[in-house]
Structure 1
């Protein structure tokens, strides 16, 4: 898609966001700046932009622009906490864009951020350090249903993407350290955000086995669910059952274009 068509669509979405007029103008300015930088500075590494007072770096401007649109224009991780000091788990933190979004929403939040991919984790650490974000704890590991190691596929295409599923990523096969999310939940979680490219079933299995998938332990979950992964049978009904059994309601946000193809589904559990 043409860069300026993408920009125009993002601007239209921005005008409908629940932001002040000055915030909308600022976001539109940043989007316009990124559109031009994707053209004139596309090979610059690292790419850098200031957004709502945060300095954010990424591998290149294409990736940086994509994440700004996904998180700050898409507003996918917007949520209402019952406290000004929520406890948040960012599972699949990538470079920290969602973590920064959460700190923008709730400056006093405590955030635990998990990212297994080495280069991506370096950007995550840099973004936390550059913005002096307090009470943000970063872990270079994958979350699973058991502690140990797991085969991980790390992209070779400079898109900072990784997955435990070979069909999700074309790249290098490595081994990464795993831990259970349940080991980190020592108090009620106000939000758990999960975007782990196919490993969400393992995380949920761990929470169920350790009796943490309950409204008493977790207030809200925002999860990217990966549907119709190649060579895998559909199992969404089975996946949702533990949430229904533990009194979670849910809403599903997704697009549909063609039968039988991979589909990202954003599920809000509350």
Structure 2
């Protein structure tokens, strides 16, 4: 007993200094969601208790922070509840569009709770897109899945470059900038709607690190909102666009709810009551 007390005192006075990698691994070990995990260089493969696999990169990336937001803090729990309780949800016709899909955690979380028929993931970063493909591979057998390595745009035939100087500069904070010489093609929501003959967008999630200012420009075609039942959008106030987006959504008959960092819009035309 004396030895244990002495050891506790010693550890208090001289705490063990873990490397950033070991701190990261300790987080994974401590998670109640993770049954087991394996490491392959900088890539980790996590197994949930339902045996679902999740891929994420090491501590030099933002993947764990997004994992924490989606699966531990359940950032989109409110929007899932709103859809279940207030919107007519036909699983055979339901459509999820995840703009700013990152590595796919939001898509996985939302689909776990609602199970969409068609899923569109839009992600401009080639590196994020590689992990997105791994994380959504299992969805192919049960859903109609479209992975789009482009930038969400407000206008057709626009190209973009990746900007890495937004916020903390990590993978979850990259933003896009319109550029005639850009190597990333843009895609509009209306192009997706027309090409796939969509009759509804059940849930539209937009988290594109400030590039929402392009989508909601006054000159943009916003007709996709007419068939959107619920929108969840993270608005980045660095660009002073919140009031404009709120005004557009209210004109389109959306009821707005602020939930954490996101704004949820519910289309009045599609309420059950």
TM-score for the superposition, normalised by structure 2: 0.69
Residue equivalent to 2:111? 103
User: Per-residue deviation at 1:174?
Assistant: 5.7
Q: For structure 2, list consecutive stretches of 5 or more residues without a partner in the other structure.
A: 1-19, 267-273
Structure possessing the higher radius of gyration over alpha carbons? 2
2:67 aligned counterpart, secondary structure: helix
**Aligned pair 1:54/2:52, yes or no?**
yes
Pair 1:253-2:249 in alignment: no
Q: Aligned pairs, how many?
A: 221
Alpha-carbon distance in structure 2 between the residues aligned to 1:177 and 1:252: 31
Give the whole-Å Cα distance in 1 for the aligned partners of 2:57 and 2:134.
12
The whole-number CA distance in structure 1 between the counterparts of 2:154 and 2:220 is 10
The aligned runs of 1:118-157 (5 Å cut-off) are 118-130=126-138, 132-133=140-141, 134-146=143-155, 147-154=157-164
Q: Is structure 2 residue 39 aligned with structure 1 residue 30?
A: no
1:76-116 CA-partner distances (Å, limit 9, x unpaired): 22312422342110000011111111221233531100000
Q: What is the CA–CA distance in structure 2 between the aligned matches of 1:113 and 1:206, rounded to whole Å? A: 25
Distance 2:208 2:173 in 1: 10
Question: What are the ranges of 5 or more consecutive residues in structure 1 without an aligned counterpart?
Answer: 12-26, 167-172, 255-264
Which residue matches 2:247?
241
Q: Which residue is equivalent to 2:71?
A: 72
Q: Give the superposed CA RMSD.
A: 3.3
Q: Could you tell me the TM-score, scaled by structure 1's length? A: 0.70
- Deviation string 1:192-246 (CA, Å, 9 cap, x unpaired) is 00010001122234896242323xx11000111111x2xx4x3422221111111
Distance 1:247 1:70, change over 3 A: same
Q: 1:109 to 1:29 in 2, by over 3 A?
A: same
Counterparts of 1:253 and 1:203, CA distance in 2? 21
Q: Is 1:269 the counterpart of 2:265 in the alignment?
A: yes
